[in-house]
Amino acid sequence: MKTLAELRAALGERPWLDEAGAQVRADPGAIGRLVPAAGRKCGGAPPDEAPGWGADVAARAVLLGALPAERVAAEAGEAYRYGDAAEKRAVLKALPLLPIGGDAVPLLHDAIRTNDTRLVAAALGPYATHLDPPAWRQAVLKCVFMGVPLSAVDGLGERADAELAGMLASFAEERRAAGRDVPADALAVLESLREG
Amino acid sequence: MRIFDPHIHMTSRTTDDYERMAAAGVRALVEPAFWLGQPRTNPGSFADYFDGLVGWEPFRASQFGIRHHATIALNPKEANDPRCRGVLDLLPRYLEKDGVVAVGEIGYDSMTPEEDEVFAAQLALAVEHDLPALVHTPHRDKARGTERSLAVVDESGVAPGRVVIDHLNEVTVKLVRDTGCWLGFSIYPDTKMSPPRMVEILREYGLERMLVNSAADWGRSDPLLTLATGEAMLAAGFSDDDVDRVLWRNPVEFYGQSGRLDLSDLDGAQPTFAGNSILRGGS
């Protein structure tokens, strides 16, 4: 996992982002307009040093990281609440890098309730260690159901348990009964759980 | 034929429509925030609606290879309900979104003092957020409503070239043609405007600053009337290039003024998890 400092370094020279970060430090409320604008100002392909992070996602994470610690949970919550899909995804990706403990778990629940595959996938990154086991298993099953690749699920190998195996097995049974395919990555997880 | 529908309410449409639109050549569209048929009673209801316009609906459109942008505003009808006035305070957040390419639909419904106030306030937001404006003209008393809208736009300081006056017809087109504003026409099955009537208007007034939309919503409407208008233009002797100008290049030019219109990769890239059951919303 990248740190905020590594993300900032990976973005290279970004005068707009430095100025925006300074604004957030001076006036945390300013983040409400800067997080949306970061998409236009810092958009583009993932930096070479931070694969999997679009430049806009990394820039938004850096802005959230500029918030004073006591404001992070509230402002990240607002940025998510009023964010478009890309902003919501950026907040979810940033959560494990922010000093908020488990305060942002409700954001994960919101994202997992959606049918937007990008948000469901982003909710199952490293911050999902804060999800309780039943919620986490349901979210993993939802990924399989929606066709989100299980490579999106952080720590799957360590956290998958017999209960999840049972859920995946009954999902596979229903799919087969309907004459439909079962995603290969789900079968692989099921197989490894049975072996274990 | 490539089609950009500059005004269509996809929230009210089904995936069948998306499929038919994609097959007909619709590659991009703009969904303006408007009334939902059932009046809303509080700002939170609008916030959720706006979230859909910059969240779920663009995702849904992307499943069919169609690029979705939105315009955001407090619509004229609900501007009259004091319980909804707080929506104006929500707008600055949404007007900063990447997918928002104009302030709209704003304008008049019944031409009340409340509508005056909200219309002017939102034109000021267009200036502040450096966005074009989409102005709805009223269904009743349309000519007077159009004249009054033009006067408000004139006072607002928004350049006419950054404003579209929408839902025009044979009578109101004359009022707008020489103002420098863009002219929007909503092609409906049996009201507002029909493809043959639209072709006549294009013949008489030319193609410059002309926008043709389906304005399809929850009422009787047809998202393919943009295509029907293109076909009627060809049948009447307009060239392929003329059709492309009206149905693609004009809306691209108008909304492109926002600096936020993103039509990149429309040919190749598919959404990350395409081709799966997400087409049915994960069912």
Range A4-29 average pLDDT: 95
The answer to whether residue A33 neighbours chain B at the CB level (below 8 Å) is yes
The 10s digit of each residue's pLDDT in B72-115 is 999 999 999 999 999 999 999 999 999 999 999 999 999 999 99
The pair of three-digit structure tokens given for residue A55, joined into one six-digit string: 């430049």
pLDDT, mean of residues A162-191: 96
Query: By residue range, what is the domain housing residue B160?
Result: 3-266
| A83 and A3 in a common domain | yes
Tell me the pLDDT tens digit for each residue of B186-211. Answer: 999 877 789 999 999 999 999 999 99
B282 occurs within a structural domain: no
pLDDT at residue A53 in the model: 87
In the structure encoding, which two tokens stand for residue A24, read together? 């957030």
Q: Is residue B275 part of a domain?
A: no
pLDDT classification of B276: cutoffs 50, 70, 90 = very low
In A, minimum Cα distance to B97 occurs at A36
Question: What does the alpha-carbon distance between residue B184 and residue B135 come to, in Å, rounded to a whole number?
Answer: 9
In a domain, B28, yes or no: yes
B102 within some domain: yes
Q: How many angstroms separate the CA atoms of B263 and A33, rounded? A: 24
**End-to-end Cα, chain A, rounded Å:** 27
| A94 lies in the same domain as A3 | yes
CA-nearest of A73, A71, A68, A67 to A34 is A67
* pLDDT of amino acid B267: 66
A114-118 contacts: CB < 8 A, separation 24 or more?
A: A114/B56, A115/A146, A115/B56, A115/B278, A115/B281, A115/B282, A116/A85, A116/B55, A116/B56, A116/B59, A117/A146, A117/A147, A117/A148, A117/B272, A117/B273, A117/B278, A117/B282, A118/A85, A118/A89, A118/B59, A118/B272
Q: List CB contacts (< 8 A) between A86 and chain B.
A: 98
Point out the residue among A32, A43, A115 whose CB comes nearest to the CB of B281: A115
Place of tokens 């108008």: B254
CB contact under 8 A, A36 and B97: yes
Give dist(CA B25, CA B18) in Å, integer. Answer: 11
Q: Are residues A67 and A156 in the same domain?
A: no
- In tens, the pLDDT along A49-74 reads 888 888 999 999 999 999 999 999 99
- The alpha carbon of residue B187 and the mean position of all alpha carbons in its chain are separated, in whole angstroms, by 12
Residue B282: other Cβ atoms inside 10 A: 18
- Which of chain B's residues have a Cβ under 8 Å away from the Cβ of A146? 273, 276-278, 282
Q: How many CB pairs under 8 A join A and B?
A: 62
B220 within some domain: yes
Residue indicated by tokens 């925006």: A20
A34: distance to nearest CA of chain B, Å? Answer: 9
Looking at residue B272, what is its pLDDT?
38
| Residue A146 near residue A120 (C-beta atoms within 8 A) | yes
Separation of alpha carbons B230 and B228, rounded Å: 5
8 Å CB contact between B73 and B103: yes
Contact between B58 and A33 using a beta-carbon 8 Å cutoff: no
Q: What is the pLDDT of residues B199-248, one digit of tens each?
A: 999 999 999 999 999 999 999 999 999 999 999 999 999 999 999 999 99
- Tell whether B195 is covered by a domain: yes
Q: Which of A69, A101, A133 is the last residue of a domain?
A: A101
The Cα–Cα gap between B48 and A46 comes to: 30
Contacts with A118 from chain B: Cβ below 8 Å: 59, 272
Whether B93 and chain A come into contact, CB under 8 Å, resolves to: yes
Taking an 8 Å cut-off on Cβ atoms, the answer to whether A82 and B99 are in contact is no
Give the pLDDT score at A46: 78
Give me the residues paired with residue B29 across strands.
Answer: B5, B68
Percentage of residues in chain B having pLDDT higher than 70: 94
Mean pLDDT computed over A86-107: 96
C-beta atoms of A37 and B259 within 8 A: no
**What are the φ and ψ backbone dihedral angles of B69, each rounded to 5 degrees?**
-125, 170
- B49 or A196, greater pLDDT: B49
| Residue A22 shares a structural domain with residue A77 | yes
Instruction: Assess whether A4 and A95 both reside in one domain.
Output: yes
Closest chain B residue to A36, measured at CA? B97
- The shortest C-alpha distance from A49 to chain B (Å) reads 22
Give the distance from residue A131's alpha carbon to the nearest chain B alpha carbon, in angstroms.
Answer: 22
Same domain, A168 and A123: yes
**Mean pLDDT score, B148-162:** 97
The pLDDT tens digits of the residues spanning B115-126 come to 999 999 999 999
Whether A131 and A186 map to the same domain: the answer is yes
Binned at pLDDT 50, 70 and 90, residue A43 comes out as confident
**CB of B92 less than 8 A from some CB of A:** yes
Contact present, B61 and B40 (Cβ < 8 Å)? no
CB within 8 Å: B59 and A116:
yes
Last residue of a domain, one of A101, A121, A146: A101
List of chain A residues whose C-beta atoms are within 8 Å of the C-beta of residue B258: none
CATH number for the domain harbouring residue B8: 3.20.20.140
In angstroms, how far is CA B17 from the centroid of its own chain?
17
| Number of domains observed in the structure of chain A | 2
Is residue A76 domain-shared with residue A95, that is, in the same domain?
yes
B281 touches chain A (CB under 8 A): yes
Calculate mean pLDDT across residues A25-32: 95
Count other Cβ atoms within 10 Å, centred on residue A195: 6
Q: What are phi and psi of A67, to 5 degrees?
A: -70, 145
Please tell me the predicted confidence (pLDDT) of residue B278: 37
Is residue A82 domain-shared with residue A135, that is, in the same domain? Answer: no
Q: To probe the interface with B, which of A87, A116, A181 has the most B CB atoms within 10 Å?
A: A116
pLDDT at B60 over 80: yes
Nearest-CA distance from A65 to chain B in Å? 20
DSSP chain B: --EEESS--GGGS-HHHHHHHHHHTEEEEEEE----SSPP-SHHHHHHHHHHHHTHHHHHHHTTT-EEEEEE---TTGGG-GGGTTHHHHHHHHTT-TTEEEEEEEE-SS--HHHHHHHHHHHHHHHHTT--EEEEPPSSSHHHHHHHHHHHHHHHT--GGGEEE-S--TTTHHHHTTTS-EEEEE--SSSS--HHHHHHHHHHH-STTEEEE----SSS--TTHHHHHHHHHHHTT--HHHHHIIIIIHHHHHHHTTS----TTSSS---TT-SSGGGGT--
Q: Is A84 on the interface with B (CB under 8 A)?
A: yes
Q: Is residue B272 part of a domain?
A: no
Q: Most B CBs within 10 Å: which of A82, A110, A124, as the mutation test of the B interface?
A: A82
End-of-domain residue from the set A85, A101, A117: A101
Closest CB to A85: pick one of B59, B273, B277. B59
Q: Which helix (H) or strand (E) holds A196?
A: none
Count of structural domains, chain B: 1
Whether residues A96 and A39 fall in one domain: yes
Give yes or no: residues A91 and A125 share one domain: no
Please give the pLDDT value at position B274: 36
CA angle centred on A79, ends A74 and A84, rounded to 5°: 155
The residue in chain A having the minimum alpha-carbon distance to the alpha carbon of residue B59 is A116
Dihedral angle computed from the Cα positions of residues A20, B56, B58 and B208, in that order, rounded to the nearest 10 degrees: -90
Looking at residue B281, its pLDDT comes to 38
Window A:92-131, CB contacts with B under 8 Å: 114-118
Domain range for A12: 1-101
Phi, psi of B25 (to 5 degrees): 110, 5
Contact A116/B273, CB-based, under 8 Å? no
Residues whose CB is less than 8 angstroms from the CB of residue A180 and which lie 6 or more positions away in sequence, other chains included: none
For chain B, first and last CA: distance in Å?
Answer: 33
Within 10 Å of residue A9's Cβ, how many Cβ atoms? 13
pLDDT at residue A196, rounded to an integer: 67
Q: Is B260 an interface residue toward A (CB < 8 Å)?
A: yes
Chain A nearest-CA residue for B93: A33
> Residue A195 — very low, low, confident or very high, per pLDDT cuts 50/70/90?
confident
CA distance A65 to A47: 18
Q: Are residues A135 and A146 in the same domain?
A: yes
